[in-house]
Every structure is written in C-alpha cells, then in structure tokens.
C-alpha cells in the first residue's frame, strides 16, 4: 500500500490561500490513506473542523472506495457535483496518484493535503515498512528475498559497507545489516553465495512514466503470429 503522512498544515493553508479558496471540498481515500490514518473519514472530518475553525467554508466531503481509481473518482464527483461546484478548491487527503485522479475528474483546482512517502508493507496494525522501490529489475531471486536497494539505508546493491559492525547496520544500529541478513538467509537455505557481485541494475526497465495496458497487450497477443513464445 502507499504510505502517506499529513502535510504540514501551514503549507496546506498557504496552498489554499494561493488559490484564493474561501470554500473548500475535501476528499479522502477509502483504501491506503484510511489504513494509514491520514485520509479516512476521521481525518477528513478533522480537516473539515480545522478549516471551519479558520473561517473557511467546507462545501462538502467524500471518502470514495479508492482515490486512484479514475472511474470511482468520476462517480464520486458526480455524487457530490453540487458541493464541488460551489467550492473554490478541492483538498485531497490521498497519495499523489489520488490527487492526480481527482485533478482529472474535476475542473476545480485540486491541492494535496498529504505527502506520499513510500510503498509499504503492513508489518502489523499501524506499522509500515518500505520493502520495494519498484525498480523494474528485481534481484530478490539472488538475495534470498531481501531487497538490498530498499532495506540498506545506503541503497547498496552489494555489501556490506565498511561501516557494518558485528553484523549490525551502521546507520540503523538496532538492525541487522541487510547484506549480512542476505548471506545468513542464503546459507540457511543451503544456497551458494558465489562472491560474484550483483551486476548494476538496468534502470531502463523502470517504466517512466509507468503505464501498462492489459487490453492492448491481450489484443497484440491475439494477432496471428504474436502468440505466446513468439
């Protein structure tokens, strides 16, 4: 899930002031931002109370199923058309993808209320950790399922660095060094670590901007001579 944190409120206030917004519609996200306690109903209502206490009218609010779903967001804007029309701006408590989805769904200026910080694993309730930076050239097959570029604070593909001490990370001192953990897990699984360093990653595989069109892919695969394996 996408992990978000609340944006500094002074900044949010100045964004709204830049837009000359005296009337604001607030929207959140029923998925990631709800789980992260940043853009669910409680946080949207807290933002509403805060804006109203500061003399800004809140014309309405919504928390749709998932803020980054274009169709869902269009439906939400239709449901709240009147409240949106009377607003000068939309404050979005969702990740950057959700903000952009809202910006496409309405002609009213949209402004973010959160910071999108990482793609997170839910370790336990309320605890999230970054385990993948979606690099497009995964090495987990060679690192016993531990991502070195994400979990090593220096992002080292090969390690450990010279600062590793007694198996522990020199940056996050209460944590085992990622590269020690990789070697340990490989040994536990009786897998040979060749000593060959991992080759540089091919960052050209990282789609920028990312776009996958499964329908187009299926059509291309169905064309004569374009079936699997060709």
Q: Which residues of the chain form contacts with ligand SF4 (CB under 6 A)?
A: 132-135, 138-140, 147, 149-150, 152-154, 156, 159-161, 163-164, 169-171, 177-179
CA gap 170, 173 in Å, rounded: 5
Nearer to ligand SF4, 115 or 170 (CB): 170
Helix H, strand E, coil C: the string for 110-149 is EEECEEEEEEEEEEECCEEEECCCCCCCCCCCCCCCCCHH
CA gap 41, 20 in Å, rounded: 25
- Least Cβ distance, residue 5 to ligand SF4 (angstroms): 21
The token pair that represents 113 in the structure block: 């209320």
Nearer to ligand SF4, 166 or 213 (CB): 166
- Least Cβ distance, residue 204 to ligand SF4 (angstroms): 14
Nearer to ligand SF4, 97 or 103 (CB): 97
**DSSP character at residue 213:** -
- Least Cβ distance, residue 96 to ligand SF4 (angstroms): 19
Nearer to ligand SF4, 97 or 135 (CB): 135
Q: Which residues contact 174 (CB under 8 A, 6 or more apart)?
A: 168
- Least Cβ distance, residue 184 to ligand SF4 (angstroms): 12
Nearer to ligand SF4, 60 or 160 (CB): 160
- Least Cβ distance, residue 206 to ligand SF4 (angstroms): 9
Q: Which residues contact 203 (CB under 8 A, 6 or more apart)?
A: 135, 136, 137
The token pair that represents 104 in the structure block: 């496409």
């Amino acid at each position: 899930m996408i992990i978000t944190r609340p944006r500094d409120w002074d900044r949010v206030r100045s964004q709204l002031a830049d837009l000359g917004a005296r009337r604001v519609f607030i929207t959140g996200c029923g998925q990631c931002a709800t789980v992260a306690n940043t853009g669910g109903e409680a946080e949207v209502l807290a933002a509403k109370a805060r804006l109203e206490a500061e003399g800004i009218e809140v014309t309405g609010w919504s928390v749709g199923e998932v803020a980054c779903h274009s169709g869902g967001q269009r439906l939400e804007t239709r449901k709240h058309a009147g409240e949106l029309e009377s607003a000068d701006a939309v404050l979005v408590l969702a990740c950057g993808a959700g903000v952009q989805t809202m910006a496409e769904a309405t002609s009213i200026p949209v402004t973010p209320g959160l910071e999108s910080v990482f793609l997170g694993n839910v370790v336990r309730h309320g605890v999230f950790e970054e385990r993948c930076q979606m690099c497009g050239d995964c090495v987990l097959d060679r690192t016993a399922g531990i991502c070195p570029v994400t979990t090593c604070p220096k992002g080292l593909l090969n390690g450990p660095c010279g600062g590793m001490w007694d198996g522990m990370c020199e940056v996050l001192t209460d944590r085992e060094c990622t590269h020690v953990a990789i070697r340990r897990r490989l040994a536990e699984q009786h897998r040979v670590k060749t000593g060959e360093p991992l080759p540089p990653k091919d960052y050209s595989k990282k789609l920028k901007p990312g776009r996958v069109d499964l329908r187009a892919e299926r059509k291309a695969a169905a064309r004569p001579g374009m079936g699997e394996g060709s």
